[in-house]
Amino acid sequence: MTKITYKDNLGATKTIEVENGLSIMEGAIQNDIPGIDADCGGSMACATCHVYVEEKWLNILPKAEEAEVDMIDMAYEPKKNSRLSCQLIVSDELEGLIVTTPPKQS
Amino acid sequence: MKKTDTIIIGAGPVGLFAVHQLGIKGLKSIVIDNLDKAGGQCIELYPDKPIYDIPAVPECTGEELTDKLLEQIKPFKTDFFLNERVEEVKQDKENWIVKTNNNNEFLAPNIIIAGGVGSFEPRKLAIKEAEKFEEKSLFYAVKDKEKFKNKNISIFGGGDSALDWALELSKFSKINLIHRRDEFRGAPHTLSEIKKLEKEGKIYIKTPCQLDSIEGKDKIDSITIKFDDGKTEKIKTDVILSFFGLIMKLGPIAEWGLNMNKKTIEVNAENFETNKKGIFAAGDICSYPGKLKLILSGFHEVALASVECFKRARPNEKYRFEFTTSSKTIQGRLGKK
């Protein structure tokens, strides 16, 4: 179990213990965290699980593969620290990770 | 009004296989889909990506799967109503009447909703001013390219649609191609063409930047883009074309009085009927305990739903379970002798 914090665009936070091996997206869906839609179910095909990752975590997370970066082009208001939460797999190293959801997903 | 045995909403893999399962039972169906072709997510989101979990098919792409399914249902000569979205569903005694945005009306005792996550619609620009220019000087698709002659066109996006239209429209208009990062995603040939036209001064590439504002009253006069380093630039623009792919919207399905669970429709796992008699849901859009959003689960779901559809469409006939290997009736329906 790893503590992940989901922050909405207004700053309200919820910290959840997510099982290692699940994605940040699955952690959100299973715990009814609003702001992550995940329409395609995690197949990197829709960009509706888009989150902003705190800068300091960007280097710790495995780099986004090309298909993910291509998909982020489609996301709502992408930024430098944008990731698709379906591609971020929870592990001990991510203890304390904070992700922020955009104002909307589409 | 067109009468049929079952109205299938959604031409994805599950909707297509529903045609088959109904067809071998001797039931007619029609298929409605908002996209311009059959295949659903398989064709729209991952036509080239291999799928590895279709039973007995070790590997196939979304497009191959769609083609095979279309081939499999060919004997049933089903009518497809593409580019159409179902707007209204209402009850008429034992039947259902379905109306589309193209003013087509269908009557049937059964509806199978195999709508995935809803209908595909273009992803719209996020900024507020965008809406009032939509379909006037801001477009999410090019229907008639004659309208885009001798204009200052700003194209947003970094994928195939953005690149292909930049190339095509640069023949007779000034193009700004605007993208949030330096890399574009397109065929190598297209990319080298774009570079060539940039050198010739026919296409202006602006990266890495995003749309900041649109100026203009009734029509667009200019746009302002903001680069990653904070600098802004005002660009004279008559037309904006925006290509940020498609999103899936549940749309009117939510208003048909079905029991919903978030964006999915609750069904029983015996025949995949919803809380309304004669309305079934299958594939990604249905939910029941243990539901998996897999294509193969959808195939199973429509197989069972088709049995209940038969009972409702042929109340005076007895349903007989038959195998395709041994039933002469089924083989006849498939055009085999």
Chain segment B299-333, per-residue pLDDT in tens: 999 999 999 999 999 999 999 999 999 999 999 99
What is the reported pTM?
A: 0.80
Query: Are both B239 and B129 inside the same structural domain?
Result: yes
Confidence of residue A39 (pLDDT cuts 50, 70, 90): confident
Q: Is the pLDDT of residue B186 over 90?
A: no
- For B40, nearest residue in chain A (alpha carbons): A40
Residue B86 confidence (pLDDT): 94
**Candidates B45, B159, B249; nearest CB to A45:** B45
The 10s digit of each residue's pLDDT in B122-177 is 889 988 889 999 999 999 988 888 899 999 999 999 988 899 999 999 999 999 99
A24-28, B16-20, B258-262: the lowest-pLDDT one: B258-262
* Domain edge (last residue) among B209, B244, B279: B244
- Chain B hits for A39, Cβ within 8 Å: 117, 247-248, 263
Pairing mode of beta strands B138-139, B239-242: parallel
Query: Are both B251 and B115 inside the same structural domain?
Result: yes
Residue A8 confidence (pLDDT): 93
Residue B96 confidence (pLDDT): 98
Residue A77 confidence (pLDDT): 87
- For B158, nearest residue in chain A (alpha carbons): A73
Angle between helices B13-23 and B62-72 (to 10 degrees): 20
Query: Do residues B183 and B212 touch, judged by C-beta distance below 8 A?
Result: no
Residue B271 confidence (pLDDT): 97
How large is the average pLDDT for residues B43-58? 90
Residue A104 confidence (pLDDT): 86
The 10s digit of each residue's pLDDT in A41-69 is 888 888 999 999 998 999 899 999 988 99
Does A41 contact chain B (CB < 8 Å)? Answer: yes
- Chain B hits for A38, Cβ within 8 Å: none
Residues 6+ apart with CB under 8 A from B109: B5, B6, B94, B95, B96, B278, B309, B312, B313
Confidence of residue B336 (pLDDT cuts 50, 70, 90): very high
Domain A2-100 has CATH 3.10.20.30: yes
Query: Are both B199 and B260 inside the same structural domain?
Result: no
Summary mean pLDDT of chain B = 94
Q: Which residue, B8, B9, B10, is CA-closest to B19?
A: B8
Query: Are both B290 and B326 inside the same structural domain?
Result: yes
Q: Bridge partners of B296?
A: none
- For B179, nearest residue in chain A (alpha carbons): A73
Confidence of residue B58 (pLDDT cuts 50, 70, 90): very high
CATH code of B210's domain: 3.50.50.60
Query: Are both B13 and B106 inside the same structural domain?
Result: yes
Pairing mode of beta strands B246-249, B232-236: unpaired
Residue A44 confidence (pLDDT): 86
The 10s digit of each residue's pLDDT in A57-105 is 998 999 999 889 989 988 988 998 999 999 999 999 999 999 999 998 8
Confidence of residue A23 (pLDDT cuts 50, 70, 90): very high
Q: Which two tokens stand for residue B68?
A: 């095979």
CB–CB contacts below 8 A, A to B: 47
Domain around B210:
124-244
The span from the CA of B240 to the CA of B152, in Å, is 9
Residue B29 confidence (pLDDT): 98
Listed by number, the residues of chain B in 258-297 with a beta carbon closer than 8 Å to a beta carbon of chain A are: 263, 284, 293
**Candidates A39, A40, A77; nearest CB to B126:** A77
Listed by number, the residues of chain B in 145-164 with a beta carbon closer than 8 Å to a beta carbon of chain A are: 157-159
Query: Do residues A4 and A66 touch, judged by C-beta distance below 8 A?
Result: no
Q: Which two tokens stand for residue B19?
A: 């045609």
